[in-house]
Structure 1
């Protein structure tokens, strides 16, 4: 369980992020076309999982925009932006922003992704939503980097996440 804050107020999460050097856990998430996506759909690609509470908040949308920009420079890398938002909201956001370099995925059906990855907020105003995290895995599925952002209102460390792919 991680201890983070939301507006300076303590919030707990459901567990711990996958350990560096471990294999990234499988998942089933819903794409904007309502298809189910699993880890196997991205086999052979480096992955950056940009996980956040809701694309409808300033910091969450900023992280999607930033990773969308960075994606142009990355080879063999998919950026998966994951929240519990409905796929329709994710699609509308990307269409309005002109974002085409990230993959939006939703955990709205069961929340199993958040449970399996230990990142559901279990207290506070965003209870049951995902905490802000970044997980980077190489093309073989090995976790290279994780970040549990300590304050929900802060952006993740984009530079450290990107550097993890090239170190």
Structure 2
């Protein structure tokens, strides 16, 4: 069962598992360009949040970007249903202009493919995936309570281990 602001929500899609190949996606970046998983070679942390404009989501996005931005062959990708304009404004306000934020606002295909679309809200539930250079998932955390922080230490250990 997954909850958001204290209420049970229906998740559309099936959660991914360690060992699965990360599904390809088409999302919108802050320059209003469509991008796919193939546009990000190397290892990736896919940090999924309901909205970068909220406290936990902001902290999650900031933490992964600050801790991993200097790692070679690593891209932190934050995905939400925020409009690209809001994502770009948030990045500027937070001093994270080089952060990769992608929007699933258009058709929610990412949310369905990654098993994180909250049907009642048309927002994404909180999750963290670590993906290797072959796009195979090496770590995954789906949070039962969307209003909690992910296990940053476990995700970072998976990246660095």
Name the TM tier (shorter chain): over 0.9
1:33 corresponding residue in structure 2: 31
Match of 2:143 in 1: 149
Please state if 1:122 is matched with 2:119. Answer: yes
Please say if 1:19 is aligned against 2:17.
yes
Matching of residues 44-83 of structure 1 within 5 Å: 45-83=42-80
1:87 is aligned to 2:121: no
TM-score (norm 2): 0.94
Give unmatched runs, 5+ long, in structure 1: none
Once the two structures are TM-superposed, the CA of residue 9 in structure 1 deviates from its matched residue by 2.4
CA distance in 2, matches of 1:120, 1:106: 13
Deviations 1:18-46 (A, max 9, x none): 22111110000001001111011012x10
Deviation at 1:101, TM superposition (A): 4.6
The C-alpha deviation readout for 1:104-124, integer Å capped at 9, x for no partner, is 10011111111111110123x
Provide Cα deviations, 1:119-146, integer angstroms capped at 9, x if missing partner: 10123xxx21100011110111110011
Provide the aligned length of Structure 1 versus Structure 2: 161
Equivalent residues of 2:69, 2:75 under 8 A apart? no
Residue 157 of structure 1: how far off its partner (Å): 1.0
Moved over 4 A (4+): none
Contact 1:71–1:101 (CA under 8 A) maintained in structure 2: no
Give RMSD over aligned pairs: 1.3
Q: Scaled by the length of structure 1, what TM-score is found?
A: 0.90
Shift of 1:62: 1.1
CA distance in 2, matches of 1:28, 1:7: 28
Once the two structures are superposed, residues 51-100 of structure 1 have per-residue CA deviations (whole angstroms, 9 ceiling, x without a partner) of: 01111111111111111211234221100000011100000000011013
In structure 2, what is the Cα distance between the partners aligned to 1:152 and 1:19? 18
Point out the more displaced range, 94-103 or 6-15.
Answer: 6-15
